[in-house]
Amino acid sequence: MFVPQLLGVLLLTVVYVFSTQFVNHLQSSIPGSVVGLVFCAVAMLALPAARTRIRPGAVVLLGLVPLFLVPVLARMAVRIDFSSPTIWRALVMLCIASLVGVAATGLLAKLCLRKD
Amino acid sequence: MVSGALSALGLSLLAYLAGLWIQRHTGNKPYMHPVVLAILLVAFVLALLDESATDAYLEHNMLLLDLLMVAVVAFSVPLVDNIKLVLREFGRLLAVVALAAVFIAGSTIALCYAFGIDAATMAAFSFRSVTNPIAIAIAEQNALSVDLAMLGVSITGVVGILTAEHILAALRITDPRHVGLVLGITSHAFGIARALEISSLAAAYATVGMIVSGLLYAFAVPWLLRFLPL
């Protein structure tokens, strides 16, 4: 019971630990988890069996991402001083930047992607 | 020690389950996001306790943060699942993601200057459209404020899902591929959840957009930070 899921999580953890060590060895500013994502994608494309083993664990972890985010976002909610005018200025700026970003990305997608 | 850890993890779990329950019983509205509701519940509980309880809560939840980093590696599975889509339109997709990333980062930095926002906050906001787990990894690896990065990512995600479809409709952009890609690039995981409600094609493009832009930012941000007056 849950053996495929646990094996998948274990394999993903091994890739994460290896890629973090790799990044630390290179003293790179690129996150180890992102390098692990690339390593894992390459491994799964090269070895279809690896994909079968990793998938159950990935499904579990990706489904639980919202739960994993709760403490880090709660820390943000507790630590950031929302009574500060600077933060409110930043919030207004973020809202404007988000609206502009959506419009520009939409126009770029329409311009660059062909119609089927 | 063990009871403290269990209480902290239990608080996160209970708050998240309560968030899911509230969302389901309020008609699955996009603004009733279970994570947002869970954060409010946890913040409310922590506000009732003293500062040391907050520190203990965060310390005992490190396991969830570690698992979040492993989940970033797990994003390789949806990437490989959609690899045919990525390869079929690789050049065009990469062009959209790269140009959008440059525009989003550039416009954010320009607006930060216009609003008189300091350089450290500017740096933390520069990758605001990246999914939370990758944003945390980028912030930690580059010694930036994780809290400010999360603020930028969260506001971007929420504003994106609430407004993207209205903005795109006003610009006569209705192709589900375009809408999905925009949601993935600009609103990350929040956008994928919304794209899933539109169609599976929109969700596939949203997934590709989110992962490719996350990868691009992770490799570009360390280089970009050299040009900011930190």
**Section A1-17 average pLDDT:** 93
Task: Enumerate the H helices of chain B as residue ranges.
Answer: 2-24, 34-48, 51-60, 62-74, 76-81, 83-88, 90-114, 119-125, 132-141, 146-170, 176-198, 200-224
Cα–Cα distances (Å) from A48 to A3, A41, B58, B77, in that order, read 19, 11, 39, 12
* Better-predicted residue by pLDDT, B48 or A46: A46
Is A88 an 8 Å CB contact of chain B? no
pLDDT band at B89; cut points 50, 70, 90? confident
Q: Does residue A29 register a pLDDT over 80?
A: no
Q: Does residue B189 register a pLDDT over 70?
A: yes
Q: Does residue B151 register a pLDDT over 80?
A: yes
Q: Determine, for residues A67 and B16 on separate chains, whether the beta-carbon distance falls below 8 Å.
A: yes
> For B98-131, how does the pLDDT look when each residue is reduced to its tens digit (9 = 90+)?
999 999 999 999 999 999 999 999 999 999 989 8
Q: Does residue A114 register a pLDDT over 70?
A: no
**Section A11-31 average pLDDT:** 90
Q: Determine, for residues B186 and A98 on separate chains, whether the beta-carbon distance falls below 8 Å.
A: yes
Cα–Cα distances (Å) from B192 to B85, B131, B187, B201, in that order, read 16, 10, 8, 11
Q: What's the confidence (pLDDT) of residue B230?
A: 62
Which of the residues B77, B83, B112, B172 would you substitute to probe the A interface, choosing the one with the greatest number of A C-beta atoms within 10 Å? Answer: B77
Q: What's the confidence (pLDDT) of residue A115?
A: 62
Q: Determine, for residues B167 and A103 on separate chains, whether the beta-carbon distance falls below 8 Å.
A: yes
Q: Does residue B3 register a pLDDT over 70?
A: no
Q: What's the confidence (pLDDT) of residue B113?
A: 92
Contact pairs from chain A to chain B, CB under 8 Å: 297
Q: What's the confidence (pLDDT) of residue A53?
A: 93
pLDDT band at A99; cut points 50, 70, 90? very high
B197, B189 in Cβ contact below 8 A?
no
Q: What's the confidence (pLDDT) of residue B137?
A: 87
Q: What is the mean pLDDT of chain A?
A: 90
Q: What's the confidence (pLDDT) of residue A39?
A: 93
Which residues of A fall within a CB distance of 8 Å from B214?
34
Q: Which of A42-51, B26-35, B127-136 has the highest average model confidence (pLDDT)?
A: A42-51
**Section B132-141 average pLDDT:** 87
ipTM: 0.89
Q: Does residue B195 register a pLDDT over 90?
A: no
Which residues of B fall within a CB distance of 8 Å from A27?
none
- How far, in Å, CA of B218 to CA of A12, rounded? 19
